Structure formats: structure tokens, C-alpha cells
Amino acid sequence: MPGRESSIDTIQRELTAFARRARHKASQLHPDLSLVTYSILDLITERGGCRAADVAAHFMLDKSTVSRQVTALEKLGLLRREADPDDQRGQILRATEAGLTLLRDANEQRRIAFTARLSDWSDEDIARFADYLTRYGAEG
């Protein structure tokens, strides 16, 4: 087994490599949705509606960036803003039907791509890899 430090270097390098290519692949996979807009749509759907400030905090993005992305998604008819009855400052963001359809389609295409890439992995290895990634993601 390689040393702990060398393994950490590998993790760092591979995760960074993945990040470098992610945007490119995302745009190839689904030209209508960028990595960011896809992620925003996914988050608000997963949470059953949330505010722009929550999105910004979750993705470590500036609120102005989120504001513009939300505007773009709204113009595309993929998302709508609802007044928050408890707080007139905030808006609750929800995907529209069109947004949900597009999101399902994008998820499906992504799943196909990932499945192809992991085709020669055993079920056990896939499950363990998923566990490690979840654990890693939960740390920070």
C-alpha cells in the first residue's frame, strides 16, 4: 500500500483533474444547461424550493451570481419565483414543469454517461466508491 501522503496527493490530483474537465463535459452532455444552472435547478428541486441565499451558501457563490443565473433560468421558463409568505424580502425558487422535465432528462443523460464509464466496475466497487465520495463530501 502506498503511503498516506502519496495517496492524499493522488486524491488531490484526481479530484482536481475531474474538476477541470467537469464544465466541458457538462456542456457537451446537455448544451442548454451549464454546470451551474443544472446544479441550481437540481438543488431547488431536491429541497422542494429554497431561496437564492441558500443556493449561494450551498455552492459558495456570490449572491449576485446566483441572482443572474436564476434570472436566466426564469427567462428560459425552467424556474419560477414565489413570494415567501413569511418574509417579503425573500423569494422561494421552484422548478417549473419544463424545468423538471429538462432536469430529469439531463439527469438521465448524465447517468447514462456515468454508467458507461463505470461499466467494467463491480457493484461492490461502485458502492464503495460512492461511500468514499459521500464521506469526503460530508467532511467539508
Partner DNA sequence: GGAGATCCGTTGTATAGTGCAACAAAATCC
Partner DNA sequence: GGATTTTGTTGCACTATACAACGGATCTCC
Interface contacts to its own copies, rule CB under 8 A: 1-2, 4-5, 7-24, 26, 35-36, 39, 42, 59-61, 107, 110-111, 114-115, 117-118, 121, 123-130, 132-137, 139-140
Assess 53 for contact with DNA (CB under 7 A): yes
Q: Residue 125, Cα to own-chain centre: how many angstroms?
A: 23
Nearest approach, Cβ of residue 54 and its own copies (Å): 15
Enumerate residues 6+ apart whose C-beta is below 8 A from 51. 84, 90, 91, 92, 93
Nearest approach, Cβ of residue 120 and DNA (Å): 28
Assess 45 for contact with DNA (CB under 7 A): no
Nearest approach, Cβ of residue 37 and DNA (Å): 6
CA distances from 136 to 12, 77, 82, 129, 139 (A): 12, 35, 34, 10, 5
Angular region, 87: left φ>0, alpha ψ -120 to 50, beta rest: beta
Kindly provide the residue ranges of all beta strands, DSSP E only, lying in 7-103, ordered along the sequence: 79-83, 91-95
Residue 1: name its binding partner from its own copies, DNA, none (Cβ under 5 to 8 Å by kind). Answer: its own copies
Residue 72: name its binding partner from its own copies, DNA, none (Cβ under 5 to 8 Å by kind). Answer: DNA
Q: What is the torsional sign of CA 78, 83, 85, 89?
A: positive
Which residues of this protein are in contact with DNA, per CB under 7 A?
20, 23-24, 34, 36-37, 51-54, 60-72, 81, 87-91
